[in-house]
Amino acid sequence: MNRLFTFIMVCLCLVGFNHANAQQLGVVKGTVTDASNGETLPGVSILVKGTNSGTQSDAKGEFSIKTAGNATLVFNYVGYLSKEVAINNQTTLNVKLEVSSKELEQVVVVGYGVQKKSDVTGAVTQVTAKDISYQASANPAQSLQGKVAGVTVTNTGTPGSQPTVRIRGLGSVSSNSNPLYVVDGVLTRDITFLNNNDIETFNILKDASASAIYGVQAANGVIIITTKRGKSGKPLITYSGYMGFQKPTNMVDMTNGSQYIELLNEKGQIMADRAGQSYSPINGGAYPASTDWYDQILRSSAMIQNHELNFSGGNEKTQYAVGASYFKQEGLAKENDYARVNLKTAVDTWATDFLKVGANINLSSATSNNAPDNIFKDAYVAPSAIGVTNPDGSFTSMMDFGSFPNPAAKLYYNNNKTNALRLVGGAYLEVHPIKNLSVKSALYVDGTQSTNRKYTPWYQVSSVQTDTTLTLAKKIEDPFSYTWDNTATYKFEINEKHSLTAMLGTSMLQDRYHSMTATRQGVKDYGDGSWYLGNGSDKGQSNGESVDLYRSFSLFGRLNYSYLQRYLFTATLRRDEASIFPKDNRADFFPSVGLGWVISQESFMANQNAFQNLKLRASWGKMGNSRIPLTVVPGLSTGGNYSGVFGGNIITGANITQVGPRNLLWETTDEFDVAIEGATLRNRLTFEIDYYNKKTKNAIFPVTTVTTIGASNTSYLDNNADVVNKGLELSLGWKDRIGEFSYSIGGNIATNKNEVTRLKEGTLGIYGGSVNYINTTYTTVGRSIGEFYGRKVVGVFQNQLEIDNYKNKEGIVIQPQARPGDFIYQDTNGDGKINDYDRVFLGTAIPTYSFGINLGGSYKNFDLTVDMYGQGGNKVYNAKRFRQLGNENYDLDFYNNRWHGEGTSSTYPSADVVSETNKLASSFYVESGDMFKVRNIQLGYTFPQKVTNKLKINGLRVYANVANPFNFFNYNGFTPEVTNIDLTKSYNEQINATSQGIDLNVYPMSTVYNFGINLTL
């Protein structure tokens, strides 16, 4: 570290050294114009090459600069090609700049190929390495938040975890709704093995026209990731690294010990009054402690670091890239951390003039020390009037106030560790037998070996927090998938007017999941070196094994046609056959079509300067989702209870115990998209406006069973619903330069309306979001998926007179059992009583709009980036405030705003939230999820070439970065970004869409401060 510090200080000192050559100077004047129409260009940056000396053209496009007669001037203007002009002792220079077509020539990656951005007829957005590589995140998908219109990213906060990504809303309840990731050809749903610096580009295929080429895998959108590969040129050695720390932010303040006792006494008195009994207050002097349990389980500062070393280079024949990286992140929870080591290599070579071969391998090893289940919920509810430990150092029991676990003890006795080794890679062979024809065959693999070990030592904290079994549980997972793709692509032109590209292909996929679990008791604790199943007792042992196998075979094709680069047509067709479906219905076709009109290429646009590019496009396509729960088979029970005597013989009978369809079918999605995109103001302003309408058919929803048929299950999964997502997306970008200062402003905003439009005739809506057996959501026709549902609170009773006067039209007292301080509920149906028929919809957890703002600027050698993100229209169910045992702790906001006497509050109830009257699902627990945050601020400095030359290096940049420095929201929790993932279930069933937005155990948010360096040798 001392050497690194000395090196950085030397570099900083060298910034101030300047060396100028004494030369005879003269004044050069001139005018800068647009080469196409002769218009003058104001604000053109003009620099003397090799120096920091410069000027800019004025409002008339004129400039004047003093420099040497043998110097060269460099002209830069946003939207135009850079131009170098040698002075050659001239005193007047008139310079013409050509409009740049760089944006139009940008190449984007689409399914099984690439296209120029100008030729794309679907909704495809590209995010490049420079847009994400500077962010400190364990998973690259986290960096997409706020970058792409219509893409929402919800980060969980858990170290090494995968964020929840949604592209244009939510279309399924019971199947996995994450997008498909395609990493260098490998199909996957998990990119935790990647580093930000590994990635060259993200290409997000948002609509069906772009995604349908992936058929039955594409219903939730596709994100194609291209990693960095070698390039022709001299060998490069690069190091990128940062170190920093994370601080908990937006913490929820809880009541201290005395405030907690005060609330318990208030609650106790109210409960006694309800029952007509007396109450003896708790003596606060007997509980002098005041414990902040969050302080006990959280680190005040958690370290984060990343280091990456890469070697790349090559020639015209062979290119290579080899790298290694190390990432480590301590969790905010104590003893929770994640570390990952990556080794990667990529090689591409022309073996002959017509044969190209290549391979890429990414090997990652990850270790995670996992936090205990529900540790953040436990810290929220734990009584603050109890200390952490007893005088003898043992952990205190919470039993004086209820069956609560001691959070510090729970953390101390937790031993939950996961080790994983993962190999992701592929190899290809590409043949060019004739001109314009390429045939490619590629094999891709994705395999993981993961072991989770959970050991419970002997401990006894209280009667509800004890374990004397010395249990060791292990789970080994080894999923493995491979894909074999074969494509043939032919490109040709006719009369320089017609341009066609035809592609045909096949794809074969096998995805196998295998796991084994085993548990033994009596494993004595001599340190983790003794935690082996063989050291346990045979008595009480358990084990299990699970295997899932998914296979598919696909045929697909795509035709791209362009006439005069003005009229565009794209059509794709894919036939998928998947083993998860019944034999007589395993295959389906997924077509798409896209049309484009490049208006700016029309002759009537030839002499205008308003638009440098203007394109109208429209598309339609059909996609599928085969990542559904496993086949459901009706269950039968046989035996004596169902037997009968017929003709003197005992005939064994049977009864249906579980009903459901014999097979679930795939969900299909039809989507229509229309958009206009372009560039104006000399390419400085770019814009894109999309409207989409996406309908998911045969979405998998639970169907409520009729109890009279005798089945044990209350619901089963079926292709039961249609769901529509529709909305608008707007993306704007501005780039300009003022002298030596260049800057960019990017913004996007998207709306989404989610609605269930059909349920099977005769079926009921779906209740969900259970919080201690109380349903909080209801999904039905005309509403969004998982919409919160409960009683509407219209006030708080201040006195008995208000209770007696709260009547319906017939004079019936509506809440006769209420007490002052209880909620006043809306009598929705006017029947004079409050029950389930008075429930109303209270809002959705799905954001109805989201937006991002991305700023960038550079002046001389300094650069600055600022990223912001916001979302709104969504609600969060604050389930932490739910009272289950009765003596849970309260947050300070509740303490300060509660009802504790007539006139003290009309919005918050009394401390007696545990009563049946107040704890039912209601609008009180549903809070606004609107939020805005500054996601990232980074300030960097790139050392000038004269400094790097002296250091004999090719480039050096240092930077300081802060993530999540400012967060703005009104929600009474850590963050309104709430997602619920059940890791105990299979991947396709981990997320239940009817239970989203419920805050019960959310990982706290952190602000991250880090300092980094980018070095090129």
Residue 79 forms part of a structural domain = yes
pLDDT tops 70 at residue 631: no
CATH code of the domain containing 41: 2.60.40.1120
CB 423 within 8 A of CB 474: no
pLDDT tens, residue by residue, 340-369: 999 999 999 999 999 999 999 999 999 999
Alpha-carbon span 891 to 293, nearest angstrom: 12
* Top-confidence range, 229-233, 322-326, 636-640: 322-326
Amino acid making up residue 890? Y
Please state, in angstroms and as integers, the Cα–Cα distance from residue 524 to each residue in 471, 537, 901, following that order.
Answer: 9, 10, 56
Helix/strand/coil for 311? strand
For residue 616 the two structure tokens come to: 């109208």
Alpha-carbon span 485 to 562, nearest angstrom: 27
Contacts of 278 (CB under 8 A, 6+ apart): 272
Amino acid making up residue 112? Y
Alpha-carbon span 972 to 880, nearest angstrom: 10
Amino acid making up residue 955? G
The residues pairing with 323 across neighbouring beta strands, listed in sequence order, are 310, 344
The secondary structure element, H or E, covering residue 534 is none
Residue 859 forms part of a structural domain = no
Between 35 and 395, the higher pLDDT residue: 395
Alpha helices (runs of H) in 76-118, residue ranges in sequence order: 102-105
Helix/strand/coil for 349? strand
Supply the range of the domain harboring residue 52.
Answer: 26-97
% of the chain beyond a pLDDT of 90:
66
Alpha-carbon span 558 to 113, nearest angstrom: 10
Q: Which of 837, 838, 831, 791 is CA-nearest to residue 811?
A: 831
The secondary structure element, H or E, covering residue 734 is strand 715-738
pLDDT tens, residue by residue, 784-828: 999 999 999 999 999 999 999 999 999 999 999 999 999 999 999
Phi, psi of 737 (to 5 degrees): -140, 135
Counting the structural domains of the chain, the total is: 1
Residue 54 forms part of a structural domain = yes
Q: What is the pLDDT of the chain when averaged over all its residues?
A: 88
pLDDT at 833 (0 to 100): 93
Model confidence band, residue 21 (pLDDT cutoffs 50, 70, 90) = very low
CB 658 within 8 A of CB 635: yes
Alpha-carbon span 1012 to 1017, nearest angstrom: 16
Model confidence band, residue 852 (pLDDT cutoffs 50, 70, 90) = very high
Helix (H), strand (E), coil (C) string for 678-729: EEECCCCEEEEEEEEEEEEEEEEEEEECCHHHCCCCCEEEEEEEEEEEEEEE
Q: How far apart are the first and last CA of the chain?
A: 20
Please state, in angstroms and as integers, the Cα–Cα distance from residue 267 to each residue in 580, 887, 896, following that order.
Answer: 55, 9, 15
Alpha-carbon span 160 to 139, nearest angstrom: 7
Alpha-carbon span 558 to 549, nearest angstrom: 29
pLDDT tens, residue by residue, 282-324: 999 999 999 999 999 999 999 999 999 999 999 989 999 999 9
pLDDT at 12 (0 to 100): 39
Q: How many CB atoms lie within 10 A of CB 537?
A: 12
% of the chain beyond a pLDDT of 70:
91
Alpha-carbon span 167 to 752, nearest angstrom: 10
Alpha-carbon span 396 to 387, nearest angstrom: 7
Residue 69 forms part of a structural domain = yes
Helix/strand/coil for 149? coil
CB 445 within 8 A of CB 425: yes
Model confidence band, residue 658 (pLDDT cutoffs 50, 70, 90) = very low
| Dihedral (CA of 522, 527, 530, 531) sign | positive
DSSP 40: B
CB 837 within 8 A of CB 818: no
Between 197 and 39, the higher pLDDT residue: 197
Q: Are strands 222-227 and 180-183 parallel, antiparallel or unpaired?
A: parallel
Q: Which of 956, 998, 1007, 1009 is CA-nearest to residue 973?
A: 998
Q: How many CB atoms lie within 10 A of CB 905?
A: 17
For residue 934 the two structure tokens come to: 């500054």
640-658 residues labelled b (16+ CB within 10 A) or e (exposed): eeeeeeeeeeeeeeeeeee
Residue 360 forms part of a structural domain = no
Amino acid making up residue 159? P
Please state, in angstroms and as integers, the Cα–Cα distance from residue 941 to each residue in 307, 955, 961, 1011, following that order.
Answer: 19, 11, 12, 12
pLDDT at 172 (0 to 100): 79
For residue 374 the two structure tokens come to: 């529900």
The residues pairing with 731 across neighbouring beta strands, listed in sequence order, are 688, 748
CB 699 within 8 A of CB 721: yes
Burial class (CB in 10 A: 0-12, 13-18, 19+), 660: buried
Residue 801 forms part of a structural domain = no
Residue 678 forms part of a structural domain = no
Helix/strand/coil for 1000? coil
Residue 412 forms part of a structural domain = no
Alpha-carbon span 838 to 831, nearest angstrom: 9
Q: How many CB atoms lie within 10 A of CB 231?
A: 13
